[in-house]
Amino acid sequence: MKSGLVSFVGAGPGAADLITLRGARRLAAADVVVWAPSLVDAECIREHVREDAELIDLSRSATEDLVELFRRAARDKLQVVRMITGDPVLWGAVRDQVDACRRIGVETEIVPGVSQVSAAVSAVGRELTDADQSLILTRVDATALPDATQIRQFAEHGATMGVFVAAARTGQLVEELTEGGYAADTPVVVAYKTTWPDELLLTTTLGELEAAVKQRKLWRHTLFLVGKAMAPGTKARYRRAETTAEPVEEAVDATGERAARRTWWSARAGRTNRIAAAR
């Protein structure tokens, strides 16, 4: 390695065991790991990094700090891993950082990860292109919908849509989707923190979406999957996240209800402080 290596690694949607093998190998080889404890499961870091690896909390680092780290990687031939939630090429904001590395002269790579979209659709047993071969994904970072007409224009295509937006703006989202042509009975999957221990997964319709979101007191950024491909194939059942029951479309038992599935990974991660115990 002539100039060091900066790897932008997809950490997956939340659960520690959804990182790819290549991503885990990059973590194991890293001299420095940059991660956001609120977005990447601490168990994933603990499981794979070396004991002598330097850990940097992204939430406490400015852009200038990352650029200086890239310079240090080039100078000292370090292997740096920048952990990114989900898949780096979907809302990962990696382009500017990759360009900065290239200007500095340090090698880069992007290691794909499991996206939040894939995880949500898998969790409810659907297929994004089952009823329609077209898919539109969009994200609104602001708390409002600054260009609501864009959502409406996307909706006019009638394709399956994935919209990542603040749940506090659900009413406006419903209005724009309806204006774009989606009917009130259009299936919608609401996915919040998919694969985390406190995940919320809900199958509803566009007409009932706003009330369902208000009932569950959602307001942070949430993924909304809209379209015929999200139609339930079986009777609704419930997955419990902590003490709140949320409907999920799956095969049901006699009671139609069961407790949340907690993995070995999430159980361990939930017992340990994500930052203090990361090393």
Rounded distance between C-alpha atoms, residue 101 and residue 91, angstroms: 19
pLDDT at 220 over 60: yes
d(CA 14, CA 21): 16
Query: What's the farthest any 2 CA atoms get from each other in the chain?
Result: 63
Cα 192–Cα 198–Cα 202 angle in degrees, nearest 5: 45
pLDDT in the model for residue 148: 65
pLDDT in tens, 221-255: 999 999 999 998 644 333 444 333 344 444 444 43
Task: Provide the 10 A C-beta neighbour count for residue 276.
Answer: 9
Q: Look at the pTM and tell me if it is higher than 0.85.
A: no
Residue 44 and residue 11 in contact, taking contact as beta carbons nearer than 8 Å: yes
How many angstroms from the chain centroid is the CA of residue 52? 29
DSSP-H helix ranges across 49-180: 63-76, 95-104, 116-123, 148-155, 170-179
Write out pLDDT tens, residues 30-56: 999 999 998 999 999 999 999 999 999
Tokens 């870091």, residue located? 45
- Reference 131, options 230, 21, 55; nearest CA is 230
Domains of the chain, with CATH numbers?
5-114 (3.40.1010.10), 116-249 (3.30.950.10)
Number of other residues whose CB lies within 10 A of the CB of residue 11? 29
pLDDT of res. 93: 85
Q: Which helix (H) or strand (E) holds 245?
A: strand 244-249
**How many Å apart are CA 94 and CA 115, to the nearest integer?**
15
Q: Which residues contact 122 (CB under 8 A, 6 or more apart)?
A: none
Note the Cα 119 to chain centre separation in Å: 8
Do the Cβ atoms of 7 and 54 come closer than 8 Å?
no
Q: Average pLDDT in the 147-175 region?
A: 89
User: Of the given ranges (30-34, 147-151, 160-164), which has the lowest mean pLDDT?
Assistant: 147-151
- Residue carrying the six token digits 């949320």: 246
CB neighbours of residue 136 within 10 Å:
17
CA 10-13-18 angle, 5° bins: 75
Instruction: Indicate the average pLDDT of the chain.
Output: 83
- For 237, the enclosing helix (H) or strand (E) is strand 236-241
Q: Is the Cβ–Cβ distance between 155 and 161 less than 8 Å?
A: yes
